[in-house]
């Protein structure tokens, strides 16, 4: 970074933000101008670091895209850093999911643009489709992809890498006959017996009807509205219904909100409102929950997140947890990983883990510890994996007379307000891992004197780095803080299904060895996911080569939404 730019940014930070960039922020900002994913501890000021890097690149004539986890964080970060952009005479804007085409074009014309990777991707697909259709009056929404800085880089570049961005033609609701098919299949599948009438393939998460199950369809009394469907259609519909009934759990994988389904991102804990399941699974899920059945739409364009990211001339990113997946980041994106030390020596204390035989005992011990921390005027953050777990724990805390606040995908609109108060003395916050992403819990002076924020990891995540993100909520910038993890042999990470419920496989594990067993399973699951992502990436690359060889567009032709 040029010396004159460094001096100007330092001056602006002092005048406009009442802070001065620290050494590690300057170093990380400089690294982001190269093809680097920077790992910085939670609370070290990643938002300012990204903004300084974006300014440095924009001053060289590059248009910079900053990808954040959601619309709220994009707007927040862009607004917080606006005094710096204004001081450098750079224009900035935020892309929001609710914006129309005209507003998007105006926003993309700025020097620095904040938004989510999904919005950037959908707009790129719309441009490709408009160009393909020879829309004469259509000016591209998105300018050339010069530079991309990815906040929470592990989430976007690893967890979402194989996620297809699917653009569909607009449609109102599913046809009556299609809706009847989904509803009939949901009801019919409830009477089928596992093992005799359908089987489950654990390795592929698939469900298939046996000969007995197919015979049951043949002899079933079908509604007249289904007469137009073939036997294959009926069988496929039932197998989809079996899959959503057994694989997708309410308040774990999705929410039912105002007569529609909202999917929950496993790694962030937040609702993914723009995302739907493909291959009719979303409609099968709607039938299962007896809500309005939407149209699956006609797929007109498709691109994976990895394909989108690789279209940028420059790629860099920042996160608190890149190290675990450094090999994959290097192999897939050609980036290097650099870790930057904290400004202050960490005062985080990792307390001895507690392992118990069952969930009831674990909950009772957790509640006792929470009550003790409250009496000591500490602030407590209890992390759970799912909405369901957070709400069950909330009931237990209420029964124990412990006042608390719940933060999960159902309360996503209140996230900022809940986090703003989570560091107050005596405050107890029960949250899914959305509290571990893109937020800082600032503790009061009283809490700091009493030992800082106490983080309780009530349920191990299938990925160890998600637990590390949650632990990073405490002891920021030299503050004190403590972390304790709870385990029970009734709930353990299952490397095959990715769930945490696998009591039979741990019946012989000694409680003292349970934390080690969890670590082994997390590593196994991480390797399994990595192999799956690399395999899918190779398939996508081969698919693109094959389509180009026969003169087809890889994003616009011969598309499927699965």
> Does residue 9 sit in the same domain as residue 143?
yes
Across the chain, mean pLDDT equals: 87
- Better-scored residue on pLDDT, 518 or 506: 518
With bands split at pLDDT 50, 70 and 90, how would you rate the model's confidence at 175? low
> Does residue 100 sit in the same domain as residue 36?
yes
For the ranges 14-23, 133-142, 172-181, 501-510, the lowest mean pLDDT is seen at 501-510
Which pLDDT tens digit goes with each residue over 108-157?
A: 999 999 999 999 999 999 888 888 777 655 667 888 899 999 999 998 99
pLDDT on residue 109: 95
> Does residue 380 sit in the same domain as residue 269?
no
Asked if residue 24 is part of any domain, the answer here is yes
> Does residue 435 sit in the same domain as residue 464?
yes
With bands split at pLDDT 50, 70 and 90, how would you rate the model's confidence at 174? low
In this predicted structure, the answer to whether residue 381 has a pLDDT above a threshold of 50 is: yes
Could you give the number of structural domains in the chain? 3
pLDDT on residue 172: 44
Asked if residue 541 is part of any domain, the answer here is no
> Does residue 139 sit in the same domain as residue 268?
no
> Does residue 20 sit in the same domain as residue 69?
yes
With bands split at pLDDT 50, 70 and 90, how would you rate the model's confidence at 509? low
For the ranges 92-106, 275-289, 325-339, 537-551, the lowest mean pLDDT is seen at 537-551
> Does residue 499 sit in the same domain as residue 383?
yes
Which pLDDT tens digit goes with each residue over 231-247?
A: 888 999 999 999 999 88
3-state secondary structure 23-86: HHHHHHHHHHCCCEEEEECCCCCHHHHHHHHHHHHHCCCCCEEEEECCHHHHHHHHHHHHHHHH
> Does residue 310 sit in the same domain as residue 364?
no
SS3 562: coil
Which pLDDT tens digit goes with each residue over 257-274?
A: 888 898 888 777 778 766
Long-range contacts of residues 506-512, Cβ cutoff 8 Å, at least 24 apart: 511/355, 511/356, 511/357, 512/355
Which pLDDT tens digit goes with each residue over 195-251?
A: 899 988 654 557 889 999 999 999 898 888 888 888 888 999 999 999 999 889 898
Asked if residue 538 is part of any domain, the answer here is no
> Does residue 374 sit in the same domain as residue 226?
no
What does pTM read for this prediction?
A: 0.82
Q: Print the domain residue range for 248.
A: 176-297
CATH number of the domain to which 429 belongs: 3.40.50.300
Asked if residue 559 is part of any domain, the answer here is no
Asked if residue 544 is part of any domain, the answer here is no
> Does residue 23 sit in the same domain as residue 161?
yes
One DSSP character per residue, 150-182 reads EETHHIIIIITTT-EEEEE----B--HHHHHHH
């Amino acid at each position: 970074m040029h010396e004159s730019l460094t001096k100007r940014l330092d001056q602006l930070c002092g005048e406009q933000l009442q802070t001065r960039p620290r050494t590690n922020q300057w170093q990380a900002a400089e690294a982001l101008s190269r093809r680097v994913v920077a790992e910085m501890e939670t609370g070290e000021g990643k938002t300012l670091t990204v903004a300084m890097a974006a300014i440095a690149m924009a001053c060289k004539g590059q248009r910079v895209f900053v990808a954040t986890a959601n619309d709220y964080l994009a707007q927040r970060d862009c607004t917080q850093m606006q005094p710096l952009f204004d001081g450098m005479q750079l224009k900035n804007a935020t892309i929001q999911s609710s914006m129309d085409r005209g507003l998007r074009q105006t926003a993309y014309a700025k020097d620095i643009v904040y938004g989510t990777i999904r919005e950037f991707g959908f707009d790129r697909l719309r441009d490709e489709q408009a160009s393909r259709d020879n829309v004469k009056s259509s000016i591209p929404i998105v300018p050339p992809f010069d530079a991309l800085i990815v906040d929470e880089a592990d989430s976007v570049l690893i967890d979402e890498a194989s996620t297809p961005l699917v653009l569909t033609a607009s449609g109102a609701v599913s046809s009556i006959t299609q809706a009847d098919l989904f509803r009939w299949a949901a009801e019919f599948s409830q009477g089928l017996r596992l093992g005799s009438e359908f089987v489950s393939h654990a390795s592929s998460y698939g469900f298939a009807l046996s000969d007995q199950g197919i015979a049951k369809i043949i002899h079933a009394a079908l509604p007249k509205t289904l007469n137009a469907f073939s036997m294959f259609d009926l069988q496929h519909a039932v197998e989809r219904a079996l899959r959503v009934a057994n694989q997708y759990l309410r308040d774990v994988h999705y929410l039912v909100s105002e007569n529609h389904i909202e999917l929950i991102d496993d790694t962030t804990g937040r609702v993914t409102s723009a995302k739907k399941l493909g291959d009719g699974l979303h409609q099968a899920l709607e039938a299962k929950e007896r809500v309005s059945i939407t149209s699956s739409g006609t797929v007109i364009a498709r691109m994976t997140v990895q394909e989108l990211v690789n279209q940028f001339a420059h790629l860099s990113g920042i996160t608190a947890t890149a190290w675990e997946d450094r090999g994959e980041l290097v192999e897939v994106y050609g980036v290097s990983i650099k870790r930057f030390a904290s400004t202050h020596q960490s005062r985080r204390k990792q307390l001895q883990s507690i392992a118990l035989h069952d969930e009831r005992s674990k909950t009772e011990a957790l509640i006792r510890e929470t009550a003790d921390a409250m009496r000591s005027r500490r602030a407590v953050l209890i992390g759970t994996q799912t909405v369901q777990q957070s709400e069950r724990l909330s009931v237990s805390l209420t029964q124990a007379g412990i006042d608390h606040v719940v933060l999960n995908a159902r309360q996503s609109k209140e996230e900022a307000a809940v986090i703003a108060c989570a560091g107050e003395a005596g405050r107890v916050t029960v949250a899914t891992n959305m509290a571990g992403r893109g937020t800082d819990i600032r503790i009061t002076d009283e809490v700091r004197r009493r030992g800082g924020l106490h983080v309780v990891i009530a349920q191990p995540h299938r990925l160890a780095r998600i637990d590390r993100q949650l632990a990073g909520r405490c002891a920021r910038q030299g503050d004190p803080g403590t972390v304790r993890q709870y385990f029970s042999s009734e709930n353990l990470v299952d490397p095959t299904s990715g769930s945490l419920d696998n009591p039979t496989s741990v019946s012989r594990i000694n409680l003292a060895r349970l934390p080690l067993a969890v670590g082994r399973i997390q590593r196994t699951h991480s390797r399994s996911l990595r192999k799956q992502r690399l395999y899918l990436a190779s398939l996508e690359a081969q698919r693109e080569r094959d389509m180009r060889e026969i003169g087809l567009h890889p994003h616009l032709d011969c598309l499927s939404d699965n």
